[in-house]
Amino acid sequence: MALRQSHFFRHTKTVARPKKSFMMQVGTYMSLAVLLPIASFTGYAIGYYLDKAFHTHFLYIVFLLLGIASGFVQLIRQFLRDTRDDGA
């Protein structure tokens, strides 16, 4: 018993999102400008303290890279959210 895709999409509606004001866009992108360094620093700090706790010397690099990756993921997600359905 297979579900038809047209049945699923028939009941979904597209809702137009209101345009963000200029100041809301500025606030969003300013927060993204702060997000990447904070995510990187947080990853480094977690790795540093884990290195101290477990007497190792490599965890700070691993968590620094995880922090950088998480910052870029959030940056890309916000960019894709802003460019989706702009009508361009």
pTM: 0.70
Query: What pLDDT sits at residue 11?
Result: 58
pLDDT per position as a tens digit, 22-55 = 888 888 888 988 999 999 999 999 999 999 999 9
C-alpha distances in Å from residue 87, one per residue of 17, 19, 34, 80, 82? 11, 11, 29, 14, 11
Q: How does pLDDT run across 62-74, given as a tens digit for each residue?
A: 999 999 999 999 9
